Amino acid sequence: MTTSPQTHGRRPPNVLTIAGSDPSGGAGIQADLKTFSALGAFGTSVITALTAQSTRGVTGVHAVAPEFITAQLDTLLADVRIDAVKIGMVASPEVAKVIADALDRHRPGPVVLDPVMVAKGGDPLVDADAMRGVRETLLPRARVITPNRHEAAALLGIATPTDVATLRAAARALAELGADVVVVKGGGLAGEESVDVLWAEGDTEVLTAPRVATRNVHGTGCTLSSAIAALIARGADPRAAVREAKAYVTEAIARADVLEVGGGHGPVHHFHRWW
């Protein structure tokens, strides 16, 4: 059953996204804040990078200096109670370290880590040093991690999973690196269903949803991880939060063609329950 975004008299939780900016609004900080709002949480943000980006692609990236990321985090976390944190793309080991140090200083709510390192098609988005920083510095501090199958392979140093059995094996191996809950996204696999594998409490579970025929899937990974963070902040068990987040993203994809945003791969419909 889908949880209503209503808070039933309780104050909405505060959720933080630490990620890059997407001017087209489909991914990154913008997608995260929309998802938080759609699922009944108040969104806050710390920006790690600016991008020149549209639905057709990225033409430039301007990284925010680590010391200014620290300033953003310390200023916000000294004032605002944060009930859950979503971390997106981390482009260097220095950025991973300043984020980890801030988490240790301020002890906000549970962390959902979306290790944005490899594109759906398998192309690397960050270098080996950044991957190592995420694996060694941020992953052990995460309650939930949500890599795609290529990112799972990069984190583990193995071949990319190609079926449910290898997705299961990757999820179990990633849990041994420190995360409590692991979601390995298998959306790039062929078939009529979109398949992800969830590892939690010592066991794996296969999550399936109908594959939607649309090119408007920009930001699905950002949206899934931020949905999990919002639902955990609202009190959901992480395993239940993953299931509900997948259902939310599936419907956001199914309704994506209602929007008309750009001429490339457009965004999913974050506010499909409202518009």
pLDDT digits (tens, 9 = 90+) for 114-132: 998 765 554 566 677 888 8
Q: Residue 5 has what pLDDT?
A: 56
Q: Decide if 131 contacts 154 (C-beta within 8 A).
A: yes
Q: Residue 145 has what pLDDT?
A: 97
Local structure of residue 124 (DSSP, 8 states): B
Write the pLDDT tens digit of every residue in 8-22: 557 999 999 999 999
Q: What percent of the chain has pLDDT over 90?
A: 76
Reply yes or no on whether the pLDDT at 1 is more than 50.
Answer: no
Q: Residue 3 has what pLDDT?
A: 47
Reported as a pLDDT band with limits 50, 70 and 90, residue 201 is confident
Reply yes or no on whether the pLDDT at 151 is more than 70.
Answer: yes
Selected residue with higher pLDDT from 83 and 178: 83
Q: What percent of the chain has pLDDT over 70?
A: 93
Q: Decide if 209 contacts 193 (C-beta within 8 A).
A: yes
Q: Residue 44 has what pLDDT?
A: 98
Q: Decide if 31 contacts 219 (C-beta within 8 A).
A: yes
What is the spatial distance between Cα 229 and Cα 242, in angstroms, rounded to a whole number? 9
Q: Decide if 146 contacts 113 (C-beta within 8 A).
A: yes
Overall fold of domain 14-258: UDP-N-acetylmuramoyl-L-alanine:D-glutamate ligase (3.40.1190)
Q: Tell whether pTM > 0.85.
A: yes
Write the pLDDT tens digit of every residue in 51-69: 899 999 888 889 999 999 9
Write the pLDDT tens digit of every residue in 224-263: 999 999 999 999 999 999 999 999 999 999 999 999 999 9
Q: Decide if 132 contacts 95 (C-beta within 8 A).
A: no
Write the pLDDT tens digit of every residue in 95-114: 999 999 999 999 999 999 99
